[in-house]
Amino acid sequence: MLMTAKTSMGNGGDGTADRLRGRRRNSTRWSQRSKLLFVGLVFCVTATIVTALYFGTQIKVLRSDNERLGATLEARERELATLRPEVEQLRVDVDALVQKRVPGLRPLTFDQVISLDERYLRTVVFSVVKRGGKSRYEYRLTMRNDSVLAITPRLSIALFDRHGVHIGVARIGVMAEASDLMPDLQPGESVSKSGFISMVSDTEEEPAYFLLRVAEPVVKPEPLPLPADGSG
């Protein structure tokens, strides 16, 4: 019985030691986990602080750049406001010089009805037609015969660039190309005529002015009355 008691006591001691070792192992594992969690938390907090500082610095830099650009833009706008009257005056002076060089020039504006009321010509409209990377310039005329006789209109359209250089022409009526021939206008008749202007050079300059020459029409004589039947 004594041996049995000793054996029991020995087994009890071993069990207690095992439990203590298990607790120490669990405590060690929890301690390692706590350290890892703490390190991770410190890393996250540090990364958050660094990121906040970085973006805060960038925001300050961007705000400073924005303020500097705003100040530069305001300065440029003030300069433009100061120069705009001078530019307008220069444009007026250039127009005057070009028109003095070629009397009768008019500023050309596309897709706008230009009223003329010169003899039988009432209005003209200019348009740009893009084909194959090239520009062609179309005219559309409105004419009316207010006389008592039939007439054949005769007119020419010339285009000039911004320097006053002649770059295109179209002739309508007598001595014109076949596509620009005009039928007779009867008394009181109105008609529209369109066509393309032939460019006389390969310049890439766009037309800036036009010149219209409206000549006297060819007047068709009034036909003689037919003789009455039986007159001899």
> Which of 26-30, 95-99, 167-171, 227-231 has the lowest average pLDDT?
227-231
What is the value of pTM for the model shown? 0.55
- pLDDT recorded at residue 217: 86
User: Residue 211's closest CA among 157, 154, 151?
Assistant: 157
Count Cβ neighbours within 10 Å for each residue of 158-196 and write b for 16 or more, e otherwise.
Answer: bbbbeebbebbebbbbeebeeebebebbeeeeebebebe
- 211-228: per-residue pLDDT in tens? 999 888 888 776 656 555
pLDDT of residue 179: 54
Strands of the sheet containing 134-144, edge to edge, are 114-118, 121-131, 134-144, 190-196
- pLDDT range class, residue 202, cuts 50, 70, 90: confident
User: For all residues of the chain together, what is the average pLDDT?
Assistant: 78
CATH 3.20.20.370 fits 106-219, yes or no: no
pLDDT category of residue 2 using cuts at 50, 70 and 90: very low
Q: Is the pLDDT higher at 188 or at 230?
A: 188
Window from 27-31, 47-51, 72-76 with minimum mean pLDDT: 27-31
Mean pLDDT for 170-178 is 71
Residue 1 has pLDDT above 90, yes or no: no
Res. 177: pLDDT tops 50 = yes
With a pLDDT cut of 90, the percent of the chain lying above it is 23
